[in-house]
Amino acid sequence: MLKLLSIHTSYGHIKALKDIDIEIAKGEIVCLIGSNGAGKTTTLLTISGILKPDSGDMIFEGESLKNMAPHNVVNKGICQVPEGRRIFPRLTVSENLEMGAYSIGKRQKTKGKQYNMEKVFNLFPVLKERTKQMGGTLSGGEQQMLAIGRALMANPKLLLLDEPSLGLAPIMVSKIFKTIKEINEEGVTILLVEQNAKAALRLSHRGYVLENGVIKLSGRGEDLLHNENVKKAYLGD
């Protein structure tokens, strides 16, 4: 579905991504793990078209994303839930969700499951009780649900999640991970960036380990969970 081929991305003279190759097949959950500053967010921003790579290519369903503007990447079916959620604090829950649906008007209807507000409420019932509440007054976990719900309203084929569990209490973390699995089972392919490496690898079909802008390891989620180097560096075992 998506292939990153030898991607290099930099911020001025800082080289943040060096020769990144990542492949995501339709239907997979793939995770990207690595320490602070490894280049995880940069990878997602490059896919979304927000950052332009210096070289390399990105092929999504046979088409290059390399010179595509961010809104066209969304129109192709790739939606990102940014780090730190970034919902609209002064819009209500319903209005935030409606903003997510804005892009599908311009896109051909995708086959299969279509998300709408009712379906988002089925995934996150707590949002239904709060449709009129301002986004900014929701708890951190609720804002994360709203951010994911908003991205789903655009009916993504590929959902990019940047640290969805960051700063959440353990019970909320399990809820978010459970929901990511449900969303995937409904047919959405997922690229998940996480510091919570153990939970991410358990959930994912495959994973990539990023260190200082370079892919150090990749493999099946289960295999990486048992890899000695991964255990030492990322799993606290």
Q: Which is nearer to Mg ion, 36 or 108 (CB)?
A: 36
Please, is 18 exposed, middle or buried when counting C-beta atoms within 10 Å of its C-beta (0-12, 13-18, 19+)? middle
Q: Which is nearest to 42 in space by CA: 86, 69, 8?
A: 8
Q: Single out the residue of 4, 24, 28, 41 in contact with ligand ATP (rule: CB under 6 A).
A: 41
Q: Any contact of residue 16 with ligand ATP (CB under 6 A)?
A: yes
Q: Any contact of residue 43 with Mg ion (CB under 5 A)?
A: no
Q: Any contact of residue 41 with Mg ion (CB under 5 A)?
A: yes
Query: CB 38 → ligand ATP: shortest distance, Å?
Result: 4
- Distance of alpha carbon 180 from alpha carbon 190, whole angstroms: 8
Whole-Å CA distances, 133 to 36, 149, 169, 236: 33, 15, 22, 39
Residue span binding Mg ion (CB under 5 A) among the ranges 9-17, 53-61, 76-84, 108-116: 76-84
Q: Any contact of residue 108 with ligand ATP (CB under 6 A)?
A: no
Residue span binding ligand ATP (CB under 6 A) among the ranges 31-39, 52-60, 106-114, 227-235: 31-39
Q: Which is nearest to 43 in space by CA: 13, 78, 7?
A: 7
Query: CB 227 → ligand ATP: shortest distance, Å?
Result: 19
Q: Any contact of residue 184 with ligand ATP (CB under 6 A)?
A: no
Q: Any contact of residue 38 with ligand ATP (CB under 6 A)?
A: yes
- Kindly write out the interface string for residues 185-214 of this chain, putting x where it contacts ligand ATP by CB under 6 A and - elsewhere: ----------x-------------------
Q: Which is nearer to ligand ATP, 17 or 158 (CB)?
A: 17
- Distance of alpha carbon 208 from alpha carbon 74, whole angstroms: 24
162 touches 44 (CB < 8 A): yes
Query: CB 63 → ligand ATP: shortest distance, Å?
Result: 25
Q: Which is nearer to ligand ATP, 123 or 166 (CB)?
A: 166
